[in-house]
Structure 1
Amino acid sequence: MAKMLADFVREARARIHTISIEEFDEMIENHDDVLVVDVREAEEFHRGHIPGALSVPRGILESAADTSCPLHVDKLCAARDSTIIVCSQNNARSALATDTLQQMGFQKVYVLVDGISRWEAQGLALARD
């Protein structure tokens, strides 16, 4: 039987770690080497994102994280040994992205539980470009 998106997401979620918004706040306050990576599409990112987040759409993640690729993103590649918090709208893309980054050798990668949806529901600030 062919796999569906839900199958890929379920498998990825079994291999990743999540953090709550409260844990996110604590990490940001207590660590200098935290990078927030938003894997939504560019137009979603520009409508509102966590302040300071780096936009790396899920569709280009592998090339953005690979220094041997001409399209790599320096800031992401330099964070290989840092803490990375990945967010998307509701967590499907961020679960897949986190699993991918782990497979690429990134060690401290977490998914923000319920992503931007929860962030907005809690009335937290969003930056807009």
Structure 2
Amino acid sequence: MAMKLKDFVSEARSQIEEIKPDDVDRLRSEKPDLLILDVREPGEYEAGHLRDALNVPRGVLEPAADPDYKKPNPTLSTAYERPVIAYCATGGRSALAVKTLNEMGFSEVYNLGGGYENWEAEDRETVTD
């Protein structure tokens, strides 16, 4: 049977670690080299995002994270040993991103469960650039 998007997301979620907004605050204080990764599209990011988040849309994640690619993202492609929290709007795209980053060899990657919508629903700090 062919897989649908929900199947890919469900499979990814079964293989990754999801965290809650309180965990983001804790990790920010415990791990000064923490990278917050927003995998939404640029328009979504510009409308509001977590403080200090790096925007790398899910569709370009692999080349951006691969240091052997001709034009990798200089921050992401050197973050293999840094803790990373990925998020998207609701947690699906970021679940896929976390699974991918794990497979690429990133050492400590988390998915923000519920994504940006959950973050906002808890009235957490957001910024625009």
Q: TM-score range with shorter-chain normalisation?
A: over 0.9
Alignment size in residue pairs: 129
Give the deviation of 1:32 after TM superposition: 1.0
Rounded Cα–Cα distance in structure 1 between residues aligned with 2:11 and 2:92: 11
Tell me the alpha carbon deviations over residues 73-104 of structure 1, each in whole angstroms, 9 at most, x when there is no partner.
01011211010000000010000000000000
State whether structure 2 residue 8 is matched by structure 1 residue 8: yes
Give the CA RMSD over aligned residues. Answer: 0.7
Identity %: 41
Structure 2 letter corresponding to 1:105: G
Alignment-mate amino acid for residue 44 of structure 2: E
Counterpart in the other structure of 1:121: 121
Deviation digits for residues 22-81 of structure 1 (CA, Å, limit 9, x no counterpart): 111000011111000000000000000001000000000000000111221010112110
Tell me what 1:100 maps to: 100
State the TM-score, normalizing by the size of structure 2: 0.97
1-structure distance, mates of 2:38, 2:117: 13
Tell me by how many angstroms 1:106 deviates: 0.4
Offset, 1:2: 1.1
Instruction: Please tell me the residue identity of whatever aligns with 1:56.
Output: V
With normalisation by structure 1, the TM-score equals 0.97
1:124, distance to aligned residue in structure 2 (A) = 1.3
Q: Distance in 2 between matches of 1:38 and 1:27?
A: 16
For structure 1, list consecutive stretches of 5 or more residues without a partner in the other structure. none
The residue number in structure 2 matching 1:78 is 78
Structure 2 alignment gaps of length 5 or more: none
- The answer to whether 1:31 aligns with 2:27 is no
Q: Which runs of 4+ in 1 moved over 6 A?
A: none
